[in-house]
Structure 1
Amino acid sequence: MKRVAIIGVTGAVGQEFVLALNKHPWFEVKQIAASERSAKKKFEDAIRDPNTGILRWHLREPIPDYVKNMTIDAVDDINPENFDLIFSSVESEAARDIETKFAKHVPVISTSAAYRYEADVPILIPGINDDHIGLLDIQKKNRGWKGFVAPLPNCTTTGLAITMKPLLDKFGAQKIIMTSMQAMSGAGRSPGVSALDITDNIIPYIPKEEDKVRLETGKILGKLVDGKIDPAKMKVSCTCTRVPVLDGHTESVFVETATHVDPETVKKAMKEFSNSVSVTGLPSAPKEYLMVNEDPTRPQPRLDREINEGMTTVVGRLREDTVFDNGIKYVLFSHNEKMGSAKGAVLLAEMLYKKGYI
């Protein structure tokens, strides 16, 4: 068993880590940490509202027994040399300093954006760009670290990159236009989304989100050449919106390919890709990595968010587009708090462990 710590354990993503690591066959949570406000409290007490006594546990599953009475430490109280791996869910400005401190000694798997856009830091999605793993060795050498930082992509990027992988490899995707309909949970609990803002409403702006998707998609689907990532040569334009859905991001995607391709051929390529993804044997890997649903009313967040415990990206309404000369369009659904967050980070850690990086 590898000894792991969770940083930022009381937040929405930290709670997802608590659940994703419950009874994990390879990783054992030995220490948890959060802000000074929560330090020295038991986990269950730290997430209890001091005014109402209500637990701020936002997941449908109950709090795992192993963590209820664990005492939360301050971040500075964690000795990285006592661990094989640290999971970081810190989203504040402090994330970079915290992750730098620990990566000097031990691998850090992060859900924050602090290191995503550094030249020697890959943004990894297991089965999508495994060849970028070699950049971790360059990162360690460049920085003189024993460990490394391996960040997840933005949760909105995850589903798009997964579905675009076979389109880029098989058909030479050149342009992408995407509109997202993102769940409220993607904004976190604090400050989150005001009920008065989101009820009976759609908010057509999420700060920095569109640039993140554009930059990350190109980086993830690019090639590692001479120790650097050469971004994929395709243009990405997106509009990111917040909608009154609890969990799961839906995206409407339009793609221009290098040559004409019909929808049935694209469906076949997506299914073949899903069957070939190299995540077999990883405990958190879904049975189906990418699912194509023939029902014209799918995907839907309420119906599809629990497929394979939220780890499957679902595609539907795959059809020919009539604006692009060689156009395909589809709707995708990806669970922002599972594959796009902590459970996806655990899947990444599993892959790195199997490849000898942890």
Structure 2
Amino acid sequence: MAKLRAALIGATGLAGQQFIAALKDHPYFELTGLAASPRSAGKTYGEALRTASGMTGWFVQEKLAPQVAAMKVVSGDALEARDYDLVFSAVEADVARELEPKLARDIPVFSAASAFRYEADVPLVIPPVNAAHAPLVREQQRRRGWKGFIVPSPNCTTTGLAVTLAPLAERFGVKAVIMTSLQAMSGAGRSPGVIGMDILDNVIPYIPKEEHKVEVETKKILGALDAAGSAITPHDVRVSCTCTRVNVLEGHTESVFVSLASKATVADVTQAMREWRGAEVANNLPSSPPAWIELFDDPFRPQPRLDRETHGGMATTVGRVREDGVLENGFKYVLVSHNTKMGAARGAILGAELLRAQGLLG
């Protein structure tokens, strides 16, 4: 079967670069188009990355493929849907709100942007957690008269939290969650990003809109699609969080306190996480890790520098699972999740792989 032709908008940003790295030699998708801001249009991708100092601004670990560096970049609003089979989007929310619907009229759009996450007819997909929500795209097409659709990936902070809550919700039920995040600088992107002198020797105690995103998205992701496939009923879990920015390059760390609906022991909780495989359809996708959650017994793990790349940045690592004496049936743990891989680009590609496996791309 021929590979599907994929375009990428927002190609020069940090998330866009992660998309490019993840799509290299992909078995299903071939990157055939690159789009960015008008100032990059008409340049080769390599030229578009060049900074005023002459440095090539390629910031991911994987090498930039010469054939990608030689590709011409077009302006995002000049991208023609008829030339592609699907689009990956790594643009800011305000740009996404304008560009993504234009493309979705004709072809599927898989987005790392927040613009459409909260629409009633838009699934917010983490494949192992809620693959059953994906058919909501048919309702989206029906309501909007589109041939394509928009499937956003969740906020990067929500992703690791939702992955670790899923096995607990399935086995014990979850009533309430309190979470404090220590989020990597890369989550802010490079433009405008976080100014080095602000974050050095410091913790920024507030990230605009982040806490609301986590609280709303977690309930939607853990919710249930109705029998008609037309709406998602949010989970009734109560979520409260504080989101901070710390002097770490990649990998979000989160301290999680959860109140379970039924009694359990630490051994029960760790067993639930270790044994969890999530939705069967999500386990044989090209980007799927061998395990979605990896647990540590070492009380000094997980750490972002040591553990963010676990299974190619697609696994959530967990440690320090303990009982909590304040919450009813309370437990607490620490997680690390790769914010620009599973939490952004590779997570969005995983979503596209899922919908292909479910026969929803055609």
TM-score exceeds 0.5: yes
Task: Provide the residue aligned with 1:166 in structure 2.
Answer: 167
CA contact under 8 A between 2:135 and 2:360: conserved in structure 1? no
Task: Flag structure 2 segments of 5+ consecutive residues without an equivalent.
Answer: none
Structure 2 residue aligned with 1:28: 30
Q: Give the counterpart letter for 1:336 in structure 2.
A: N
SS in 1 for 2:239: strand
Q: 1:166 Cα deviation (Å)?
A: 1.0
Which of 213, 236, 252 matches 1:249? 252
* Alpha-carbon distance in 2 for matches of 1:280, 1:218: 23
* Aligned match of 1:11: 13
Shift of 1:61: 1.9
Q: d(CA) in 2 for partners of 1:350 and 1:228?
A: 22
CA shift for structure 1 position 168: 1.1
Query: What SS is found at the alignment partner of 2:163?
Result: helix
Matches within 5 A, 1:1-358: 1-50=3-52, 52-225=53-226, 226=228, 227-274=230-277, 277-358=280-361
Does structure 2 retain, via aligned residues, the 8 Å contact 1:274–1:291?
Answer: no
Letter in 2 for 1:43: Y
| Aligned-partner SS, 2:274 | helix
Q: Percent identity?
A: 52
Displacement of 1:223: 0.7
> Is contact 1:88-1:110 (8 Å) kept?
yes
CA pair 275-76 structure 1, distance change in 2 beyond 3 A: closer
In the superposition, the TM-score normalised over structure 1's length comes to 0.98
Q: Compute the displacement of 1:75 (Å).
A: 1.8
Tell me, yes or no, if the aligned pair for 1:22 and 1:66 is still in contact at 8 Å.
no
Q: 1:49 to 1:179 in 2, by over 3 A?
A: same
One-letter code aligned to 1:14: G
Shift of 1:76: 2.8
Unaligned 5+ segments in structure 1 are: none
**Which segment is superposed worse, 74-83 or 212-221?**
74-83
Give the Å deviation of 1:65: 2.2
Number of residue-to-residue matches in the alignment = 357
Moved beyond 6 Å, runs of 4+: none
Worse-superposed segment, 76-85 or 178-187 = 76-85
Q: Shift of the alpha carbon at 1:77?
A: 2.5
Q: Do the aligned partners of residues 243 and 326 (structure 1) sit closer, same or farther apart at CA in structure 2, a change above 3 Å counting?
A: same
CA distance in 2, matches of 1:207, 1:13: 19
Q: Name the CA distance, whole Å, in 2 between partners of 1:131 and 1:212.
A: 22
Q: Could you say what secondary structure the match of 1:192 adopts?
A: coil
Residues in 1 aligned to 2:331 and 2:280: alpha-carbon distance in whole angstroms: 22
Contact 2:16 2:345 (C-alpha < 8 Å) held by counterparts: yes
Query: How far apart are the structure 1 equivalents of 2:266 and 2:62?
Result: 38
The DSSP-based 3-state class of the residue aligned with 2:336 is strand
Label 1:174 to 1:150 Cα distance change in 2 as closer, same or farther (>3 A): same
Which stretch of the first structure deviates more once superposed, 226-235 or 181-190? 226-235
SS of 2:276's partner is: helix
Q: Would you say the 8 A contact 2:93–2:115 is kept in 1? A: no
Q: CA deviation at 1:27?
A: 0.6
Tell me the SS of whatever aligns to 1:128. helix
Q: Secondary structure at the match of 1:33?
A: strand
**Can you list the C-alpha shifts for 1:203-239, whole angstroms capped at 9, x where unaligned?**
0100000000000000000011242111101100000
**1:60 alignment partner, SS class:** coil
CA distance in 2, matches of 1:14, 1:96: 17
Deviates more, 1:77-86 or 1:248-257: 77-86
Contact map agreement 1:218 1:231 (CA 8 A) in 2 = yes
What are the superposed Cα offsets for residues 226-255 of structure 1, whole Å, 9 maximum, x if unpaired? 421111011000000000000000000000
Between 281-290 and 215-224, the greater mean CA deviation after superposition: 281-290
What whole-Å deviation, never above 9, does each CA across 1:33-75 have from its counterpart, x for those lacking one?
Answer: 111100000111111112x101111112221222111010112
Change in 2 beyond 3 A, CA 1:234/1:280: closer
The answer to whether the 8 A contact 1:275-1:288 is kept is no
> Are 2:128 and 2:277, in contact at CA under 8 Å, matched by a contact in 1?
no
Q: Per the alignment, in what secondary structure is the counterpart of residue 174 of structure 1?
A: strand
SS of the residue aligned with 1:81? Answer: helix
Q: CA contact under 8 A between 1:277 and 1:289: conserved in structure 2?
A: no
The C-alpha deviation readout for 1:4-58, integer Å capped at 9, x for no partner, is 10011011111111101011111111111111100000111111112x1011111
**1:109 and 1:349 in contact (8 A); partners too:** yes
Could you say what the CA RMSD is over the residues aligned between the two structures, in angstroms? Answer: 1.1
Offset of 1:276 from its aligned partner?
6.4
Secondary structure of 2:116's counterpart equals coil
Secondary structure at the residue paired with 2:319? strand
